[in-house]
A and B are shown apart, each in its own frame.
Chain A
Amino acid sequence: MSPTPTPGQTVGPFFHYALPYAGGAELVPQTRADAIRLHGRVYDGAGDPVPDALVEIWQTGPDGAVPQVAGSLRRDGYTFTGFGRAETDRTGHYQFTTLRPGGATPYFAVAVFARGLLDRLLTRAYLPGAAPTHLASLEAVPDDRGFVFDIRLQGEGETVFLSYAQD
C-alpha cells in the first residue's frame, strides 16, 4: 500500500512576499515576436473577483516538447522553462506572457491557490478547439494578444477542476 500523502493547507493571505518573484509571470519577454498573453480573472461563488489568489502554469513549448531545464526563478530571457507563477491583482486579474503550448492536445496545466481555498486546485486551459468533448468548458477564449481563461471557484459557470487517476 502507498504511504498516505501529506494533506494540503491554504496558501493563506501572506504569500505575496514569498511565492511571487520577479519575472515569474513572464515565461518569455513581451518583446518576443511569438509571445502571447494568457490571462483572466479568478472569481468566488458570489461572482466577486479574488484579489489574493495565486495561479501557476506549466506547459509544453510550441514544438510540444516538455521543458526540463532550470531557470524558472531566475530567467535569462532566452530559455523557455515552461513554468510560470502570477498573483492576482486587486481586480482578481492574473496574466502570463508565454508561448503557445504544442502537442496533440495543447493546453496549459493550471494550479490555483488562494486565501480561503483550503487546498490547491488543478485544471487545464486548452487552446481553442483542443479540448476533448467532456472538457470543452476548459477551452481558453482567443483575444487580440492570446487567450483568456477565467477561473470560477464556485457557483454559476464553476470551473471544472481535475483529479488524476491513481494506478
Chain B
Amino acid sequence: MHPAPSVIFFTVFSGLGFGLLTFLGLGIPDVTGWTAFAFFAIAYLCAVGGLISSTFHLGHPERALKAFTQWRSSWLSREGWCAVIALITMAIYGAGLVFFGQRWGLFGVIGALFSLLTIFTTSMIYTQLKTIPRWNSPLTPAMFLSYGLAGGALLAGQITWAMGLLAISAVIQVLLWAKGDGALAASGSTLATATGLGTEGGVRAFEPPHTGTNYLLREFAYVVGRKHSLKLRIIAIVLMAVIPIVLLAAPFSHWVALLAVVSYVGGALASRWLFFAEAEHVVGLYYGKR
C-alpha cells in the first residue's frame, strides 16, 4: 500500500491526542486552571491536527460532511461520529476544569470512552479489509489502541502507566509483524484463485494490461523500501519503546520527558510508515506483484 504522509501523520497524531484525552477524561492527572488548559491544548492540537491532515488525502474534502451519513455500515463514518462526540464532550469537560475549577465527571468518562472508540474505529477501517491480509487481524486494533494509550500516558506524564503501555505496545507490534509476514500466504488468495486458471505455480502473469503505470499500481503495489524493512523495524521499536522506557526510568525532569515523547513519536511514525508500505493488497496478484 502506498504510505501517504497525510494518513501516517493522521493516525499517529490523532492516536496520540485521543490517547491523552482518554487519560484527561479519567482525571489522570488531576489538573485544573492553566495547567489543565496546557494539557487540553496539546491534546486538541494532536487530535484535531491529525483529523485535518486526514482530509488532505480526500479528493473532495469540501464534501466531507457527507461522511457522517453511513454510520450503520461504514467504519470510516463511525470514526467521524466518535471523534466529534469525543471532542465536544471533552471540550465541555475541559471548560469546567479550566474556567470553573469544576470536575464534571460524567462528561469526562463519556469523553474518555469516545476517545478510545475513536482510536478503535480508526483501526477498524484497516482491520475490516480482507483484501489486505496483513491488516485483517485483531492485532491491528490492539496495536492502534496500545500505541494511542502509551502515547497518551507519556504526554499525561504518567511514568508507570507509560512504561507499562510502551512495553505492551512493543510486544503487540512484534506479534503483528510476525503474523503479518505470513498473512498473505495464510489468506489462501493466490494468482490461481484470482484467475481460476489451474493450480498455483501453473499460472504466471505474462503481460500486464497497460504499458505505463496506473492508479492500482501506485496505490496498491508499493514496494519501495521493503528491502529495508528489518532495519526500519528495529529503528521503530528502539525509538518507540526502548529509548522512552530507559529515559522514563531515569530521574524525572521535563527535558527528559520531552525527549521521550519526541523519540516515541519518531518511532511511531516509522512503524506507521511500515504498516502501509509493507501491506500487500491481493490485487497485486493479478500483476504478479505483492
Asked if A and B are interacting partners, one says: no
Q: Which residues of B contact A (CB under 8 A)?
A: none
